[in-house]
Structure 1
Amino acid sequence: MPIIESTYKPPFWAKKSFVSTVFSGLARTVSGVLQTRERIELDDGDFIDVDWSYAESPSDKVIVLLHGLEGNAQRPYITGTAKLFNENGVDACAVNFRGCSGEPNRLFRSYHSGATEDLEAVIDYILKQDKYSDIYIKGISLGANMALKYAGEREQLPKALKGIVAVSSPCYLKGASDALMHIKNRHYAIRFLAHLKDKLKPKLEQFSQDISTADFNAIKTLVDFDDVYTSKAHGFKDALDYYEHASSLQYLSSIAIPTLIINSLNDSFLSAECYSVKEAKQNPNLYLEMPKYGGHVGFIDKGNIYYNERRALDFVNQL
């Protein structure tokens, strides 16, 4: 599809990428979302916790929400979308990836950008309830890449799955990794790495045959983390192999349901390859919107309803 011309106009104070990104990640709050937790037991013996919130009246529509790196279902970029959709007659199923619900997962593996088998397990669980005729997916950052990969790598998708929205999607993981390692993003990288290592530390004793203290101490950067843990725990040779196989960019041409990607041009986490202009022009199901502003998941707008949240609702209402 032709590239969509964005209408996003942020407040004057939110035009800088750093400001919009940090404010949205650390200062924004969303109230009024009542979530009910449910545990999905997985075939490999692990589990995923999902947090449901509901429309005022019974609904046959649900949006599945996928968070970003070291996020969870309580992050404002998740609850903000859940609240808006609930108020507009759509239930929300906010997924906590393995180990992200406040309780360590059971296995040595956890989650990663390309773990579409876990998204598939959630979708299958929802389908078995036989309640929803329309299912949508909205992924943020890491969750956006996962949603796009899920849609593009499968020859057949559930008939109930009507559309996908991907926000701030690092669809070319090697480029996004390089961008995050850049000096201008050093403060973000340090914060992410600290969270990841804190979560990995308990696994040293529980899975000492899989990772040693020396391995753990060798992790100095996010790429090191992916080399030492992410790749080895999830069946990849190394970080580069993980980035190559888990990136959604290679699957965008195969997406066969309406899909909206919103990547801001001043997102410091994304590389040039993450702006999939060629793929959008060649695939009639793919819509690419590239606002000038917005940072990384920082589409600040009026009334504490973010631009990407309004666009997601408009997009699914048009399907």
Structure 2
Amino acid sequence: MRQNVNAGADSAGVATPPNGRGRWPGLHDDPFQPRAPWLNGDLQTIRNFLVVEGLGRGLTPPPSRRMELPLNDGTGDTLLADLSESTGGRGLVVLVHGLSGCAASAYMKSSAAAFDAAGYSTLRLNLRGAGPSAGLCGDCYHSGRTEDLANGLRALDARGEGIFRRGLYFIGFSLGGNMLLKFLAEYRDAFPITAAATVCAPIDLAAASRWFDRRRNRIYQRRLLDWMRRDTVRLPLTAGMHDAVLAARTVYEFDEVFTAPRFGFEDAADYYDNCSARRFLDRIETPSLLVEAKDDPWVPSASYDAVDWHALPHLHRLSAEGGGHVGFHGQRSKIPWHDRKIIEFFKWVNG
């Protein structure tokens, strides 16, 4: 199976980044090939649910210590994160989970193990109200709430442990990838970020909502909504809002009745328009790898096709024919293909 790299990504006329290195040559190497029996996008997507949750084959991340990161924004909310410190000296990789995920999500633990083995320390972050952060937060995150990432980093730096001194890297998964790209544009001068990567980020939230709402995705929709309701009903809600959250039958309806009004957007369309990463890509100056799959049942690859990557010299699109949504369970290694490619990319950025 051949990998599909966005047409023109390395052709003449592409702007060259300030470091003069051009496009990452790894875009052409080691194309993704699925590992049996996970041979299509849906199987790739549900593999972690089946193996980790259904069969109880848990993943063991590297040893970690729990970090409390007060946001200091007047809310009193605090994020919790799991820090694994490697002796490899390659720097710190901050992992940002997707919608209804947390630091304990299978892809977060798997990536932490892969990067620890490659010599990186990792910080598995629980966003506001997610996972164990829920006990220390009275509010929740959304895809554009990038100030939480900034305030969490400031709290980490304020501990005085010099944790950024060997390099700071980011990886955002799914909705966390959209948040990360927006963050890179808005806070590009605030932190010494060496490089970043996203995996299956819905860079056009409206297009992703339409794609996800297809009839074929009814089971995904039901499962994700169950998780979203679980995370939401614990918040202080009016009776009307509580009932509306429980009545929502699609992610779009959920964002229409809860996310948009709670965070000051006119409606779901306004929320999607203001928070979609596609609006911020041309402001990103951090070398970044955007990994996506043509057969992703949650995020349309067409959103990536619509971007003029020629004009974005700091962004490197890596488009695979297969892999599903944050799957990429490939041949020749039990380490997910996206982790292997991101490790290669980070090393390339460092020369």
For normalisation by structure 1, the TM-score amounts to 0.91
Alignment-derived partner of residue 51 in structure 2: 27
Q: How does 1:156-195 map to 2 (within 5 A)?
A: 156-158=189-191, 160-195=192-227
The answer on whether the counterparts of 1:115 and 1:146 sit within 8 Å (CA) in structure 2 is yes
Aligned counterparts of 2:49 and 2:306: Cα–Cα separation in 1: 27
Residue from 73, 96, 102 that aligns with 1:72: 102
Moved more, 114-123 or 184-193: 114-123
Tell me if structure 2 keeps the 8 A contact 1:189–1:222.
yes
The 5 A counterparts of 1:1-319 are 2=9, 4-5=27-28, 7-28=31-52, 29-43=58-72, 44-55=75-86, 57=87, 59=89, 61-102=91-132, 104=134, 109-128=139-158, 129=160, 130-133=162-165, 134-154=167-187, 156-158=189-191, 160-203=192-235, 206-208=236-238, 211-276=240-305, 278-301=307-330, 302-319=332-349
Q: Which amino acid aligns with 2:222?
A: I
Give yes or no for contact 1:24–1:300 (8 Å, CA) kept in 2: no
| Unaligned stretches of 5+ residues in structure 1 | none
Q: 1:276: how far off?
A: 4.8
TM-superposed deviation, 1:202: 2.7
- Write the deviation string for residues 291-315 of structure 1: whole angstroms up to 9, x where unpaired: 0000001100344200001111111
RMSD: 2.1
Contact 1:141-1:168 at 8 Å conserved across structures: yes
Q: CA deviation at 1:94?
A: 0.6
Q: Distance in 2 between matches of 1:315 and 1:277?
A: 24
Is 1:109–1:234's contact at 8 Å kept on the other side of the alignment?
Answer: no
For 1:30 and 1:68, how far apart are their aligned partners in 2? 18
Letter in 2 for 1:122: G
Letter in 2 for 1:38: M
**Residues 5-53 of structure 1, C-alpha deviations (whole Å, 9 max, x = no match):** 4611122432311111101344144225222211111122111111111
The residue type paired with residue 313 of structure 2 is P
Residue identity (%) = 26
Write the letter of the residue equivalent to 1:196: M
Deviations 1:29-82 (A, max 9, x none): 422522221111112211111111121x27361000001111111112111111
Q: Is contact 1:142–1:170 with CA below 8 Å preserved after alignment? A: yes
Find the aligned partners of 1:261 and 1:30 in 2 and give their Cα distance: 25
Unpaired runs of at least 5, structure 2: 1-7, 11-26, 53-57
Tell me by how many angstroms 1:189 deviates.
Answer: 0.8
Structure 2 residue identity aligned to 1:156: D
Asked if structure 1 preserves the Cα contact closer than 8 Å seen for 2:92 and 2:120, the reply is: yes
CA shift, 1:100, in A, is 1.5
Paired with 1:240 and 1:78, the residues of 2 have a C-alpha distance of 30
Amino acid at match of 1:164: A
Q: How many residues align?
A: 314
What TM-score comes out, normalization by structure 2 length?
Answer: 0.83
Q: 1:46 to 1:241 in 2, by over 3 A?
A: same
* TM-fit CA distance, 1:223: 1.3
Cα pair distance change 1:31/1:155, threshold 3 Å: closer
4+ aligned runs moved over 4 Å, structure 1 = 105-108
